[in-house]
A and B are shown apart, each in its own frame.
Chain A
Amino acid sequence: MKRIFYLDGQPVPFTSGQNVLEAAIAAGMARQIPYFCYHPALGSLGACRQCAVKIYPHDDKHPPRVTMACLLPASDHLQLATVDQEVHTEHRKIIELLMLNHPLDCPVCDEGGQCHLQDMTVQTGHAVRRYSGPKRTYRDQDLGPLVHQEMNRCITCYRCVRFYQDTAQGDDFGVFGSRDRVYFGRLEDGPLESPFSGNLVEVCPTGVFTDKVFRHDYARVWDLQQGPSVCPHCAVGCNTLPGARLGTLRRVRARHHPEINPHFLCDRGRYGFRYVTAAERPVRARLHGVHSRQDAVLRQVATRLQEGRSGFLGSPREDVQSNLALFALADCLHAPFAALSSPWMEALAQQCMALPQAPTLNDVEMADHLIVLGDLGGVAPMAELAARQALRHGARLTVLASRPTALAEAGDYRPTRPSALPDLVTGLAEDACLQGSRRPVILAAAETLGPAGVHALRKTLARLPANARAGVFQNSPNLFGAAYFAADGHTVRLQHALRQREIDHLLCLAADPLGSDWGAGIWRSLAPGLQGVTVLDMVDTDTVRAAETVLPMAAFPERDGLFINYEGRIQAFAPVYRREAQVPSWQENTRGFPAAAGGQMHPLGPPTPQYWLGRLAELLDIVKPWQERLTFYQRFLCPIAPRPDHPGILLDDALRARFEIAAAPAAAPVGTEDWELDLFRWHGGEALADAAAELQSLAPSRGLRLNADVDASFATLSGPCGRLRLPVLPIVGMVAGVAALDQEGFAQLGLHPGEAVQIQWETVS
């Protein structure tokens, strides 16, 4: 039966547990009840007193009274009114009080045009300031490069603290002071530490917290071109809403996805987009390191391809369509192709693909027992945020990691060597900690777990109750998409062909085999056999700098495509804008006026990878077979591609089951006396986000992280592909005998997490 109450005589449907305000907003009747402190993700507080309604009791004994809609549970046949003199007076007077000290800032306030306070003030009709006394003012704090503070504009709704302390469980931001001097900020000036600090901008209903990155290249929200996109910075695949103007990308906000990210984004997703505007981004075709005409560069690449001695390398950083286009081209030319740069990664991708029953982030929030393997927050921050919501609902948490991560501090931390993870995972089904839990969820950092660990996880999952779920996360957006094209031994074959001098040219799509991709050590040792490297990329990498020919690519918000996230969810993103530039000076501006004002813009945008590969197919005279193959594989792999604003389609289970490999991948044995390596990532680090200057100014310093007991200041690591000298950074509580290293370091040494390493210590006093 549909349950309803009445607001101003109109029926409002509700579900049990909802409050009146929530139901009214859901029914599209928010205009009748102004509000501030209620937020769908933060709940009700009753702090602002703005959301008054009049309630008419069913009996005659009690007179009608005014109450707060956000604190009133919806119940059947409730009679409520807002068209009422008393309610109206309350609405007007409260907003007048909230505006008493409000500065005259709208023209220079970045919230203007998207300001909840502006909307509510206009809605309640408060137009003339009657108070003429002096206004209270505050001094602001410097909260780092991401969030700008302007405390004068605060209306004390407490949304910011509720988000920061309750939802994100950060502890370096809070509320201070008393009476009318209440202050929301940090104890001392300094960057906000939470990986979710950017959400303050979205939850604050006023301009107290605004986006500091957007601020420096600001445009009003009504001028922004926006479109549905998907975050390219990790495997979660949060939905985003990039906004651009005059051909440049200005900001990224969260876009509602009911099962992944209904409201929030992590800072990597919000601020990582600056790779698009980075000065070093390749935007013009290059030949031997010099900007050249597209045609000349393409001809050079075609000549290389015609020699028939080329290999092709795809990437989990690229979308499905582009990897497919590359695969089809390699297929036409009968050239070796690999989607992943290292055999280890290939095995990992296949194991992840075969793992069934990944939980949505919603499922994670509903879990009653969480087991986290490795540093989840450094890989996929929003997965950590979901885990924290489960903790708030009373879930138990066990963290198996080599160091006390932020999440480990909130639960039961079991110090674990990465090489021991596969065995521990196998034992989980019998572990006492899982007894009695009804909705257990296991979340893991894919690379820390390794192929053997993910394999063990699949076997364990089969022995756990049917509603147990396991999700494995990685920080490229399309590992599953790349795994499509990864058959066993592809990478080995490609490297073998290079070693045997069967090929001497490598065409890389968004791959960085000579820089920091997994397995880069091997590629670098093979580099002398390469006559030329061609790279298609959108960020500046070591491979781009070393390449013979560089074909710049459109960034993700500049084109369409498909990503497959950690659940196997195929999500589409749409082109949001075209990269263009205005002619700056007015003397030359015959064409420089933007289209909206009757002029034209210069399209400057680098083309899509499909365009480049299509042009190459043209030059090689294989357009028809290339297109035929493209269509064929496309139909086979994703017969129905979702639309960009669609919540996504899950990969076919039968297709995923084909990746099941019975035998466990072998892991190199590690002695208990050996030093072994674990992967260190931080919440802002990822191949694209690494080019985002503001975010990277917060990056932790580079070094080898290990137990504070070790008495050394430098360490020299040796691996099969090279040596690396790094400063030692002591971490309290880290497992003895484990050293955490960044991906670049792994690439240089040619090692993987959970493998043994030789370390020489140096002490500099």
Chain B
Amino acid sequence: MSAYRGLVQLGLGLWTTLRQIGRGASTVSYPEEALKLPPRWRGRPVLTRDPDGDERCVACQLCSAVCPTRCIELQAGEREDERRYPVSFRINFSRCIYCGFCEEACPTLAIQLLDAFAFSTEHHRDLIYEKEALLIDGTGKHPHYNFYRHAGVALHGKDKGQGSNESPPVNGRSNLP
């Protein structure tokens, strides 16, 4: 009885193998051949820009706080138009584990894990990326979001009450009912 079962199992296994014969190779000869990445692939984090072309990051330091390997380091500053921005922004890619936590934490959709992944080098120091190397020229996966349109703070060129869903400033001196 058990010998019969064994033979059937053997036959099934052989059949599985034989089935593949006509299907061609599924191995990709990377790097000669390009990889097809799934849309939610988590590659190297980059800093994106908002639809108006300004950098999105407001240096809130949430990504650096949530990063489990503590590989993000930045310093906040204030631009002349009173916009917060990162004066410096560094990621140490010898430590990054591509978990995507930073992207999840980022309230402005600035930091995104896009598709770059092959960037090995010989020295650790070449894996420390500064803001110049992180900031890209596009909006990444989110073409429309601009944090400052929704925030309540005023900037040069955007007064109080001009954010989305805001009414004009009230008169805080009025005693009328």
Q: Which A residues are within 8 Å of any B CB, using their own CB?
A: 103-108, 112, 132-140, 150-153, 176-183, 185, 215-216, 218-220, 222-223, 246, 582, 584, 586, 589-590, 593-594, 596-599
Q: Which 7 A-B pairs have the closest CB atoms?
A: A103-B152, A183-B172, A586-B130, A107-B60, A134-B167, A137-B161, A152-B152
7 examples of A-B residue contacts, CB within 8 angstroms? A103-B152, A106-B60, A134-B165, A136-B167, A177-B170, A218-B76, A586-B130
Determine whether B174 belongs to the interface, using a CB cutoff of 8 Å to chain A: yes
Determine whether B176 belongs to the interface, using a CB cutoff of 8 Å to chain A: yes
Task: Contacts A177-B172, A223-B65 known; list 10 others, CB within 8 Å.
Answer: A106-B107, A107-B147, A137-B168, A140-B154, A150-B152, A178-B176, A593-B92, A597-B71, A597-B73, A599-B128
Q: Which B residues are within 8 Å of any A CB, using their own CB?
A: 58-62, 64-65, 70-73, 75-76, 78, 84, 88, 90, 92, 94-95, 107-108, 125, 128-130, 132-133, 147, 150-154, 160-161, 163, 165-177
Q: Tell me the bound Cα distance from A135 to B152 in angstroms.
A: 9
CB of A108 within 8 A of CB of B169, answer no
> How far apart are B92's CB and chain A's nearest CB, in angstroms?
5
Interface class of chain A by DSSP = loop
Contacts of A586 in B (CB 8 A): 90, 128-130, 132-133
> How far apart are A141's CB and chain B's nearest CB, in angstroms?
9
Partner of A594, one of B73, B107, B169: B73
**CB-nearest residue of chain B relative to A589?**
B128
Contacts of B166 in A (CB 8 A): 134-135, 137
CB of B94 within 8 A of CB of A598, answer yes
Contacts of B94 in A (CB 8 A): 598
> How far apart are B158's CB and chain A's nearest CB, in angstroms?
12
Q: Tell me the bound Cα distance from A246 to B88 in angstroms.
A: 12
Q: Tell me the bound Cα distance from A133 to B167 in angstroms.
A: 9
CB of B173 within 8 A of CB of A219, answer no
CB of A181 within 8 A of CB of B172, answer yes
CB of A181 within 8 A of CB of B171, answer yes
Q: Tell me the bound Cα distance from A152 to B161 in angstroms.
A: 10
> How far apart are B131's CB and chain A's nearest CB, in angstroms?
8
CB of B71 within 8 A of CB of A137, answer no
CB of A598 within 8 A of CB of B71, answer yes
Contacts of B60 in A (CB 8 A): 106-108, 112, 220
CB of B152 within 8 A of CB of A105, answer yes
> How far apart are B93's CB and chain A's nearest CB, in angstroms?
11
Given contacts A112-B60, A589-B125, are A104 and B171 in contact (CB under 8 A)?
no
Q: Tell me the bound Cα distance from A594 to B58 in angstroms.
A: 21
CB of B172 within 8 A of CB of A137, answer no
Contacts of B169 in A (CB 8 A): 137-139
Given contacts A137-B169, A178-B177, are A597 and B95 in contact (CB under 8 A)?
yes
Contacts of A105 in B (CB 8 A): 151-153
Partner of B160, one of A139, A183, A220, A246: A139
Q: Tell me the bound Cα distance from A152 to B160 in angstroms.
A: 9
CB of A597 within 8 A of CB of B65, answer no
Q: Tell me the bound Cα distance from A222 to B105 in angstroms.
A: 15
Contacts of B129 in A (CB 8 A): 586
Q: Tell me the bound Cα distance from A649 to B177 in angstroms.
A: 58
Contacts of B92 in A (CB 8 A): 593, 597-599
